[in-house]
Amino acid sequence: MEPQAILRLLVIRLNTNGSLDTSFGSGGIASFPQFGLFYGQLIGGVVVQPNGDILVAALNPANGNRAFVRLLTNGQLDSTFGTGGAAGLIASPQTLALLPSGKILVASSLALTSGGVTRYNSNGSLDTTFGVSGQSPSLGPASAIVPLSNDQFIVAGTLESAAPLRGTAPQGFALVRYHTNGTIDTTFGTLGGAVTPFPGNAYAAAFAVAVQSNGDIVAAGHRG
């Protein structure tokens, strides 16, 4: 049996022509062994701040290792972010987004059945003025976030309901719009949520969301 590969959290930066930017990290690659081992595919996201600093959130579903860090433009950890460059994650990160105010949103999933959004200050500390002690719940797992110009935001995920005695729980795309303080904007959809089911399909989940220039909302995912 071949030995299992040992992987660490890696971040790379490319030049505009697709070659590694050797001014970043070591030869274009920043490696972080201090966050534990990562096996297989990772879940998470990356956002570049206006000053060029880089926010990275990552989860390894295989062993639960996770990291939320900010890198300087040269690929080194920003020691002013969180503690020594890393902020504490409350739950498993699925994606992250940067608000116009500079605050950071992290969407999370818990055991693939529930989730929520956590807001952090620009220094990596938990923003306890948001939701309940920094957290706001979502409809099912939260898979994608799109910030709006007024610091409101929309979260896309999956609605799950109770399964019949013999069958599969109906599912659908679920979008919720939130106020800046983490409360649900009840003027959106039905009491704050817009759910699109796909009758006859056993599984449906939204994985991405975007807002067009005219304000229309586009969600993408899959059904099966």
* Cα 180-185-188 angle, rounded to 5 deg: 135
So what's the pLDDT on residue 109? Answer: 73
So what's the pLDDT on residue 146? Answer: 92
Residue 183 pLDDT more than 90? yes
Tell me the whole-structure pTM to 2 decimals.
Answer: 0.82
Alpha-carbon span 215 to 209, nearest angstrom: 12
Residue 70 pLDDT more than 90? yes
140 or 105: which leads in pLDDT:
105
pLDDT band at 110 (very low <50, low <70, confident <90, very high): low
So what's the pLDDT on residue 7? Answer: 56
* Cα 9-142-108 angle, rounded to 5 deg: 40
Domain segments of the chain as ranges: 1-89, 118-224
How much is the mean pLDDT over the chain? 82
